[in-house]
Amino acid sequence: MIFPSKIEISRSAVKSNIRFIREKIGRKVRLCSVIKGNAYGHGIHSYLPVAEEAGVSYFGVFSAEEALYADQVRKPDTEVMIMGMIDNPELEWAIDREISFYVFEFDRLKAAIEYAKRIGKPARIHVEFETGLNRTGFHFTELEEVAALLNDEREHISIEGFCTHYAGAESISNYLRIQNQIHNFRTMAETMNSYGINAKCNHTACSAPMLNYPDTIMDMVRIGILQYGYWPNKETYMQYMLKDDNKNRDNPLRRVIKWKSVVMSTKNVAAGEFINYGTSYQAGRDMRIATVPVGYCHGFSRSLSNLGRVLIHGRRVPVVGVVNMNMIVVDISSLSQVKKGDEVIVIGKQRNNSITLGSFAEMTNKLNYESLVRIPHDLPREVVP
Ligand SMILES: Cc1ncc(COP(=O)(O)O)c(C=O)c1O
């Protein structure tokens, strides 16, 4: 293979995760698949069509750049929503492509109206409310002015949504804050309605609120991490599995991603020799080692030096010595049959064993979210059944 490693995207795992999410939200609620962060590392270009095949027709991205990638591969009826960064001049492109975007400040709102007038197409906006995250969103005191502007410019604006984002619904320690946010959202939506402004849909929940606070589900949910087969955190997983109906069940989510490489070469090392740079690993016996062309430039963190594991022939084998820029050395002394070209699994399953992102992330003290998005954009993605 030309590339030292590749990412496989499992179509059946996506289908199964989407089915699970749909069971939770019911038939009437729309599912927006969140594909920011290069589809959480899975690759927008590869992931979006697979999610479309699983019945998803609405995608949430962070930026205009990501919207462009989504636009390159989406079906004509598939909708794209920008939840974060878009510079005012790019609004014209978004309006023209019927890409909706969040509006959380007057500057963007006014610019959207101007561009909509100029090109004769309505700007499709989601009015974001500041309910307590304190990141982006209109404050309650600004709503009257927002509503006045929207009332004046009705023909140039399509109000696709009222929305907000919760401040950590995956942890019970934020319970009161989340309850306040739910309350604030309702009050703000009702206030807008009382000014004569209605949205096509209300959407507030991402993965954790959808599971932990069913009140947040409303008309649409914006789901990221769950669709890729990961829980927002351990607490949410435990909360879910401890519910009566779920006791004695297996984890309903399936990992979508598999990170594969190959054995680049093998060799013997005599007892007493140091392996790879420096002196961090000394062979305590005669050893057989394999080099694998995955290093910190591919997102395999240096902190996995002498700690990480990969799978070869279905067995976990340890990284010995430091992680290099482009490769690692692993101890295959217990696997006499291993040869150049054999499959290596960096993340995923091989025979009866697996390296989960969780274990990979825990070794490096990273969240699933962070480890996923660090998987490099330039590794090839291959969709497999
Ligand atoms: C505005 C917004 N909506 C939805 C999501 C999806 O969150 P999750 O991956 O926890 O489902 C995110 C991610 O952080 C977000 O920022």
If asked whether residues 210 and 343 sit together in one domain, one would say: no
Q: How many domains, the chain? A: 2
If asked whether residues 15 and 52 sit together in one domain, one would say: yes
pLDDT at 227 (0 to 100)? 98
Instruction: Specify if 375 maps to a domain.
Output: no
* Higher-confidence position of 244 and 286: 286
User: What is the CA(110)–ligand 1 centre distance, in A?
Assistant: 26
pLDDT score of 316 more than 70: yes
> Alpha-carbon distance 89 to 93, whole Å?
8
If asked whether residues 105 and 188 sit together in one domain, one would say: yes
Minimum CA distance residue for ligand 1 atom 8 = 224
Where residue 342 sits, what CATH number does that domain have?
A: 2.40.37.10
Most informative mutation of 42, 86, 134, 165 for ligand 1 (most atoms within 8 A of CB): 165
Instruction: Specify if 374 maps to a domain.
Output: no
Which domain-ending residue is among 222, 246, 270?
A: 246
Which domain-ending residue is among 246, 266, 287?
A: 246
Q: Which atom of ligand 1 is nearest to the CA of 227?
A: 11
Tokens read off for 110: 């006014």
pLDDT at 364 (0 to 100)? 59
Residues facing 315 on adjacent strands: 312
If asked whether residues 274 and 229 sit together in one domain, one would say: no
Q: 335, 279 in Cβ contact below 8 A?
A: no
Query: Which three-class secondary structure state does DSSP give residue 91?
Result: helix
Please give the backbone phi and psi of residue 284, each rounded to the nearest 5 degrees, phi first.
-85, -5
> Alpha-carbon distance 61 to 374, whole Å?
17
Confidence of residue 96 (pLDDT cuts 50, 70, 90): very high
pLDDT at 375 (0 to 100)? 85
If asked whether residues 285 and 173 sit together in one domain, one would say: no
134 Cα distance to chain centroid: 22
If asked whether residues 217 and 350 sit together in one domain, one would say: no
pLDDT at 360 (0 to 100)? 66
pLDDT at 278 (0 to 100)? 97
If asked whether residues 164 and 220 sit together in one domain, one would say: yes
Longest CA–CA separation in the chain, Å: 81
Query: Which three-class secondary structure state does DSSP give residue 202?
Result: strand
Which domain-ending residue is among 246, 271, 294?
A: 246
User: What is the CA(361)–ligand 1 centre distance, in A?
Assistant: 19
pLDDT score of 358 more than 90: no
Lowest mean pLDDT among 69-73, 119-123, 311-315, 357-361: 357-361
Given the structure tokens 């990170």, which residue do they identify? 259
Percent of the chain residues past pLDDT 70, beyond the cut: 97
Please give the residue range of the domain that contains residue 318.
257-355
pLDDT score of 181 more than 70: yes
Confidence of residue 366 (pLDDT cuts 50, 70, 90): low
If asked whether residues 172 and 280 sit together in one domain, one would say: no
If asked whether residues 78 and 124 sit together in one domain, one would say: yes
Q: Which atom of ligand 1 is nearest to the CA of 222?
A: 4
